[in-house]
Structure 1
């Protein structure tokens, strides 16, 4: 079922006695389409899969409505169903739209891995009555929970978090563009506070116990929700690609000063990458390593799973189920409402 007017379907939702409206911004994308499939078995949700471009969608899913809406246009927030939980997948969503929904005491779940965008959401949402939850996905998300568990140890002074993406398939356009942008997006070094170009301070990780350490490149990444209250833990983030020689190629490119160029031409490079053959394993691996004041490793956590998009959709689903069942606070969701915290400087 397709529509361009989401508000007209609200009465149908009420007649069906559905528990709640769930809006997925980016609902026909790589992660969004997988999340919709997971939700198709949960008739307690009325799912609104929203995408920018109109397209014909053949579906027999009774609880799913596909709709075309440009969320960047003025007044877009008013075109969405009321009393809904909003899952924000694209970074094209204006922070003002998120703030407007939160002002209605709604909940917005965001999956962005770009620190500047996450900070913009938090600033826009500060003081509203709803709940903004960032880092709902695989990374950030599961990786955040792994690191936060390590950070609860008072001996921990530094955390290094490595994410490895397998190239066993072509990822969606948004994920691929993010990858190239991340290689050229400067970040503040946790030790010096100075702006650092990605790739200047790489690290080697054991992504599994019986494997040689693999190179990973330092990148900008959100770290909200990792540090304990009042904690001074320094957090470093790294990105690697499987097979490892691809990571080494990007490392050479960054040493040649091409990081900013790759970031500025992320869309063009994404189109080119989609023409390349698929190789490597279709898997996602995360490692979080904790170090004490002397720089000695004291603990670590490892995770290995399948397709990154599948894992992100599954993590969103777990969050939604925890919220619906009333276990949100026990699951660590309640305390993560970012708009209840002070605005970042």
Structure 2
């Protein structure tokens, strides 16, 4: 028995042995289930509303992942958690009642969803003397974006603002729920933290150009309602955080921004047109499967205005979400002493997580720190790079 297996056996020795992935037969959940089944053989259940779908997925895995029926929602019955060491949640919820129950009854909980209202409620859950931990913001965005934001902010003495830019590849196949969320979010209005207050902004507006490096170069990115920009001000104590989205195919984000200005996305409130748009978007595979994240923190270092940036690039963002989730789940099972509600950046750091989850096709974690200094031969300041590395 190797050291990993010994740690896993010790972590599961308390009588709670099962790991339940709710939504575990969905697009991302099935990858998480299969990865965890390799680490914890015979312990992993793919759960969801349909026992038939769970059983079908279990059969596809040769029984390595077991089936379980589990409904999510305010009308769902309370479940017995006495045998469950960890719940991995892949489905959207409205209320954090299951999190409260897990903390009270000693079952770790991990959430890979990105619904802003729910994550804000979940972050405020306060159980006296919790018996377990709940980890939120696990995945790519939120998730790796949070970790990169924390790393960039830590490189400065003071941080005033963080800009997160995410590039997704249009050639990747996404599940229906992910496509629906993206389509709906294109026309959304949402609130962001800015200078210690909330300000309403619109999706696909306020564009900037982000340099993702490598062969990707510069892409146009626009405001988008990712949850990290609402939770990071609290965990990093930074008053101004923004998250933007762009795509690998040049011009697509600009077209979407133009459609937003024309009010086209309001028409998607009509159900037949929304259904058609989701179907067409799901069938679109015009680009690559690449993704990239670029995070820049602005503030001061050594008394001088400075900015710190972090960049990663990889293939298949849904697969990366699953890899981050599986890595975090293994860590949670091996740390039964953890307590309370935490976001990913409060528990792990970017370097360790990226080293554990990156594939051969992914970049190293690139870091740069730049100072603004007066230039005697120019009218304005120039930025001089002072560090770049892993």
Q: TM-score, normalised by structure 1?
A: 0.80
| Aligned residue in 1 for 2:3 | none
Do 1:98 and 1:108's aligned partners in 2 also have CA atoms closer than 8 Å? yes
Structure of greater Rg:
2
Matched, 1:269 2:277: yes
| Aligned residue in 2 for 1:144 | 146
Structure 1 residue runs without a partner (length 5+)? 1-15
After superposition, the Cα gap between the structure-2 partners of 1:277 and 1:221, relative to the gap in structure 1 and judged at 3 Å, is closer
Q: Is 202-211 or 238-247 further displaced after alignment? A: 202-211
Matched, 1:245 2:251: yes
Instruction: Name the one with the larger strand percent.
Output: 2
Q: 2:308 aligns with which of 274, 289, 299?
A: 299
**What aligned pairs does 1:316-331 form with structure 2 within 5 A after superposition?**
316-326=325-335
**SS class of match (1:40):** helix
Q: Give how far 1:317 is off.
A: 1.3
Aligned partners of 1:297, 1:234: CA distance in 2, in Å?
A: 16
**What aligned pairs does 1:47-196 form with structure 2 within 5 A after superposition?**
47-53=44-50, 54-55=52-53, 56-57=55-56, 58-72=59-73, 74-78=75-79, 82-92=83-93, 94-123=95-124, 125-127=125-127, 129=130, 130-152=132-154, 153-183=156-186, 184-191=188-195, 193-196=198-201
After superposition, the Cα gap between the structure-2 partners of 1:115 and 1:21, relative to the gap in structure 1 and judged at 3 Å, is same
Q: Is 152-161 or 183-192 further displaced after alignment? A: 183-192
After superposition, the Cα gap between the structure-2 partners of 1:74 and 1:229, relative to the gap in structure 1 and judged at 3 Å, is closer
Number of corresponding residues? 318
Q: Give how far 1:298 is off.
A: 1.7
Q: Give how far 1:228 is off.
A: 7.8
Deviations 1:198-239 (A, max 9, x none): 223121101115654211110222236645867334111001
Q: Give how far 1:29 is off.
A: 0.6
Q: Is 79-88 or 27-36 further displaced after alignment? A: 79-88
After superposition, the Cα gap between the structure-2 partners of 1:304 and 1:335, relative to the gap in structure 1 and judged at 3 Å, is farther
**SS class of match (1:101):** helix
After superposition, the Cα gap between the structure-2 partners of 1:202 and 1:45, relative to the gap in structure 1 and judged at 3 Å, is farther
| Aligned residue in 1 for 2:36 | 39
**SS class of match (2:181):** helix
Do 2:123 and 2:342's aligned partners in 1 also have CA atoms closer than 8 Å? no
Q: Is 84-93 or 245-254 further displaced after alignment? A: 84-93
Aligned partners of 2:69, 2:45: CA distance in 1, in Å?
A: 10
| Aligned residue in 2 for 1:204 | 209
Query: What is the root-mean-square deviation in Å for CA atoms of aligned residues?
Result: 3.2
Aligned partners of 2:158, 2:33: CA distance in 1, in Å?
A: 42
Aligned partners of 1:263, 1:158: CA distance in 2, in Å?
A: 34
Aligned partners of 1:247, 1:189: CA distance in 2, in Å?
A: 24
Q: TM-score, normalised by structure 2?
A: 0.72
| Aligned residue in 2 for 1:3 | none
Do 1:162 and 1:237's aligned partners in 2 also have CA atoms closer than 8 Å? yes
Q: Give how far 1:325 is off.
A: 3.5
Do 2:32 and 2:326's aligned partners in 1 also have CA atoms closer than 8 Å? yes
Do 1:167 and 1:243's aligned partners in 2 also have CA atoms closer than 8 Å? yes
Q: 1:281 aligns with which of 268, 283, 288?
A: 288
Matched, 1:22 2:19: yes
